[in-house]
Structure 1
Amino acid sequence: MPSPIAVYAGSFDPPTLGHLDLMERAAKLFDRVIIAVGRHPTRNPLFTFDERLALLAEVTKGIPNLTVDSFEGLLYQYCEKAGARVIVRGLRAATDFEYELQIAHANADMAPHIDTVFLPTRTNYGFVSASLVREIASHGGDVSHYAPPAVSKALEKKFGRG
């Protein structure tokens, strides 16, 4: 029996090695994984929406059962349209769990047929966040230990160093 379609959603501004690790692991657990980039009108991202989509397409091109897509609105509504029954979320620390559990409960209340699966980050990525990567890059720091090469290059260019 085929596994359900899974969705791993986020802003991915920018995609980090922690994100990529979760994507690769989810792709081993599910037959099909959709990386869904959310549009948030209240956020002011470093990378444009199209840049984030392009970066994700580049860094995930070697994962055959993974696709990159975008959505607006509520994640559970996107999952319903995509035919997905699983939402994949990464957890770095206990503080992530409280927030993510609240969102998972809300999604389960609105769409009980969609489950949330939590994947803990690998210990070497437990402290890595997109905001940390942006901060280091903005000061000219080397982010190659935290972001895929295409993202590192894009950050250098974004901050006028590439």
Structure 2
Amino acid sequence: MKNKYDYTGSYKKAIYSGTFDPITIGHLDIIERATKIFDEVIISVAKSELKKPMFNHQKRVEFVKAATEHLNNVQVIGFDTLLVDFARELKINTIIRGLRAVSDFEFELQMGYANSSINKNLETVYLMPTLEHAFVSSTIVREIIRFKGNFEHLVPKRIIECM
């Protein structure tokens, strides 16, 4: 009997989720590499009001759309549910997560196990950004923005226009 969460087939889709507050060149690095592995990559922008994002949800979705408009197999969708539920709604069994450093690993491993405990067919694929982007995080970018520093080299050029 086929499991109700089994969406395997020849067409492979994956979700890359985050708050993207804002999207960085590190995120874009992961997205571009994921598009070479999967037929379609859904970038899911979490509302995440508990994190008190610098940019509102609509603006963050707009940033991600602008940054990825050159990629044919990317779709950007905002969401405000558990990622596992969103993946089930979209019939996707693969989640992409980025790992910059060892410090990311423990948290991401816990999240992967938690997601798998809810949906046993859900796989998490971890991708590392290239070394030149490994230090970039949205947190660093937000701090630089707060103090009116130069951050343009840390975000996709296309979103500078949106800001």
Q: Tell me whether the two structures share a fold, i.e. TM-score over 0.5.
A: yes
Structure 2 counterparts to residues 82-121 of structure 1, below 5 A: 82-121=90-129
Give the CA deviation at 1:145: 1.8
Superposed CA deviations along residues 18-65 of structure 1, whole A, max 9, x for unmatched, are 000101011110001000011223121111111011111111001000
- On the 8 A contact 1:88/1:119 being kept in 2, the answer is yes
CA distance in 1, matches of 2:27, 2:109: 19
Give the CA deviation at 1:154: 4.7
Opposite residue 111 of structure 1, the aligned amino acid is N
Aligned length: 155
Q: Secondary structure at the match of 2:148?
A: coil
CA distance in 2, matches of 1:73, 1:127: 29
Structure 2 counterparts to residues 79-158 of structure 1, below 5 A: 79-154=87-162
Change (3 A) 1:141 1:153: farther
- On the 8 A contact 1:9/1:37 being kept in 2, the answer is yes
Mark the runs of 5 or more structure 2 residues left unpaired by the alignment. 1-8
Identity %, equivalent residues: 37
- On the 8 A contact 1:2/1:31 being kept in 2, the answer is no
CA distance in 2, matches of 1:91, 1:17: 14
CA distance in 2, matches of 1:107, 1:3: 22
Give the CA deviation at 1:79: 0.4
CA distance in 2, matches of 1:31, 1:89: 17
Match of 1:57 in 2: 65
Q: Secondary structure at the match of 1:68?
A: strand
CA distance in 2, matches of 1:152, 1:66: 20
- On the 8 A contact 2:66/2:159 being kept in 1, the answer is no
What RMSD over aligned residues (CA atoms) do the two structures have, in Å? 1.3
Change (3 A) 1:129 1:14: same
- On the 8 A contact 2:17/2:46 being kept in 1, the answer is yes
CA distance in 2, matches of 1:109, 1:43: 24
In the superposition, the TM-score normalised over structure 2's length comes to 0.90
Opposite residue 27 of structure 1, the aligned amino acid is T
In the superposition, the TM-score normalised over structure 1's length comes to 0.90
